Chains A and B, each alone.
Chain A
Amino acid sequence: MTKGQERKKQPKKALKKTGRVLKPELSYKVEVTDKDGRVIQREEGPSRSYVRQWNEIFQLQAGAVASGGVVKDTSGATQTGAYRSSRSFHCDAGIGYDRTGLRVGKDSTPVSISDYALGSPLAEGASIDQVEHQLTYFTGPLVVGSTLSFTIQRSMVNHSGTPISGVQEIGAYIEFTAAMYGRVALGFRDVLGSPFSIPDGGAITVTYTLKVTA
């Protein structure tokens, strides 16, 4: 056996006990169903995109900020009087409510850290390019083995009378507080690999999974 072969045969240096890394992950799944509930288009993958408001709202909480926090809302207005609140990150949106919760849109511009809204979000309704937003639904948190995860899911139904094509962005609108309750910011946004088309009577369902693994 040559020295080179001996070196190859030597066991790898064992990882120290401290070598275990907990991985925080955000991932998404998008499904489009037709009016009969059959899945006709699907995509899933890792999310690319918390945006700056996520950390800014987190800082309001961590720093117990009582006033003067700065967060840009989904209208593009910079709120300079933001503060910690029980509503920070809240996105438990009800039926027909499109100010918060998971949203979809038609813009395909790549995600930037300074995005403050979806590029072209679909509004609530049953007219052209509108969808009916269902409940934003949560599961978990569950520990399975060495993973803790929970999911956020929302379906949006197309009753506009025609297909809605070119749906290519998804994201989460989350609450924060500045001057009054109910300000809304973009928390994360993803651009899909290919455009989705929602047939009339069909629906698009977006599921985000937040996970940390030991």
Chain B
Amino acid sequence: MRNEGLWYSVTVRDRHGKVVSRERRKSRSMLGNWYRLLYAQMSFLSCSLVGTNGMDRGATWNQDNWKFQASANEDYIGIVVGTGTTAVTIDDYKLNTQIMHGTGSGQLRHLICTPGTPSVAGSNCDFLTSRVFLNNSGGSITMRESGIYSRCKGPTYYSYACIVRDVFGTPQAVPDGGSITIDYTLRVTA
């Protein structure tokens, strides 16, 4: 019986807002770091955790753990996207090849990332988080992976942890002037 799951959907629009591509599927990856944060919060103990910078700064209980609400322009927190295709593994600590914020070649403008309010329907409780990325780079950009970077706190330092990573079933090309929207839905089912 699966009682907790994560789904994602990807929607690509052209410069006129017309949907040109869409993918929706079960997420392949609440990573080990998701559970390391959960362990720290539940137990009030610390554990090892490798942040997105590749350094093990650990995890301990803190009010900032799991925060992935992000402001516009912030590419180090919230839903993130990339071009990498490496298969997901449990100890992934960052995207394979992240696309950074900007309007230069191969860059995307990152808009806000706001976790929604959980809603109950039937025996499910869903919790949706979305982010839109705009392509004003002057050329097409093809995305192949997405994930979630969250704030976390170790015994000494704050850092950022990759807690989710997915490789798309189909590469998603975003035309210049277009956008890509990533939705992640965390569902628990009784």
Contact = CB atoms under 8 A, between A and B. Distances in A.
A89 B129 CA distance: 20
A20 interface: yes
Interface string A62-92: 1110000010000000000000111111111
Contacts of A17: 85-87, 167
A52 B154 CA distance: 28
Interface in B2-32: 2-6, 26, 28-32
Most chain A C-beta atoms within 10 Å of own C-beta, residue among B4, B47, B89, B123:
B4
Contacts of B116: 59
How many chain B residues sit at the interface, stated as a range, is 35 or more
A33 to B, nearest CB: 24
Nearest to B167: A18
Interface residues of A, number: 58
Contacts of A188: 3
A214 to B, nearest CB: 4
Interface stretch (A36-44, A108-116, A197-205): A108-116
Main SS of chain A's interface residues? mixed
B32 A138 contact: no
A20 B118 contact: no
B100 interface: no
Nearest to A177: B63
A160 interface: no
A16 B45 CA distance: 38
Interface of B: 1-6, 26, 28-32, 34-36, 38-39, 41-45, 47, 61-69, 85-91, 114-118, 120, 122-127, 129, 150, 167-169, 186, 188-190
10 contacts: A18-B28, A18-B88, A21-B26, A55-B125, A61-B66, A113-B120, A113-B189, A113-B190, A138-B42, A210-B35
Interface of A: 16-18, 20-26, 46-52, 54-56, 58-59, 61-64, 70, 84-92, 111-115, 138, 140-141, 143, 146-150, 152, 174, 188, 210-214
